Amino acid sequence: MSTQQLLGKIALVTGGTTGIGLAAAQLFIQEGAKVIVTGQNPDTLAAAHKLLGDHAIVIKADARSVADADRLGEEIKRRFGGLDVAFLNAGVARFAPIEAGDEAFYDDLMDTNVKGIVFTMRAISPLLRTGASVIVTTSVVDSKGIANASIYSATKGALSALVRSLAVELAPRGIRVNAVSPGPITTPIYGKLGFPADALKGFEDSMTSQVPLKRFGSSEEVARTALFLAGPGAAYVNGVELPVDGGLGIA
């Protein structure tokens, strides 16, 4: 049931054409926001445009590209003049033992997960209105050791530190910066890991066994947490990393 928490607000959701980002875009629209969604896959861009309808603007942008981040900021300024909510969610997950992580592997993760957030934030910071909320997607792996996730974990740890610093830096402008930290969530990202079917099933079973709630979460559950951080109920919440992991982080 909609409570119109974001009525009249302008919200950006990066990585918003699938999974958590798409669920958040749908929820933000239900709550009254006009939403800008980014992605780079033509098929998912088209599908998101069809699903979200006239309440969303879908923009092609590569999270690794500084030029695309700057163009995104210019487009938001041209269309809306400012932003009330920014859900910086675009990212990738790759897993490999440390000896198998070559330079390309490292660069892909760091450029997408860290550089992408940093330069998107640089582009949109002047557009953030007083009272705006920024939410960054981190991960349970930034605080819990998981085998074969060292480089991925490092990217999310960098974002966790970034959130804390930005929360202090932007507070004088009345802007809050927080993070949502998912654990195992059922999203299309798992199909992109490159695991054989049996290995993927083994990974899912292993993760489920470690989660106290004994299940994967849903994109909608993470989206609802992002909505809380975006909305008036979190008006005095700043610089936190809110886990949505079924208790995995404390298990």
**pLDDT tens digits along 180-235:** 999 999 987 655 555 566 766 777 888 888 999 999 999 999 999 999 999 999 99
- Provide DSSP, 2-29: ---TTTT-EEEEET-SSHHHHHHHHHHH
Annotated catalytic residues are 152
Contact yes or no for 16/25 (Cβ under 8 A) = yes
Name the nearest CA neighbour of 238 among 136, 96, 113, 153.
Answer: 136
pLDDT digits (tens, 9 = 90+) for 49-89: 999 999 999 999 999 999 999 999 999 999 999 999 999 99
CATH of span 10-186+218-241: 3.40.50.720
Provide the whole-model pTM.
0.94
- Separation between Cα atoms, residue 243 and residue 239, nearest integer Å: 13
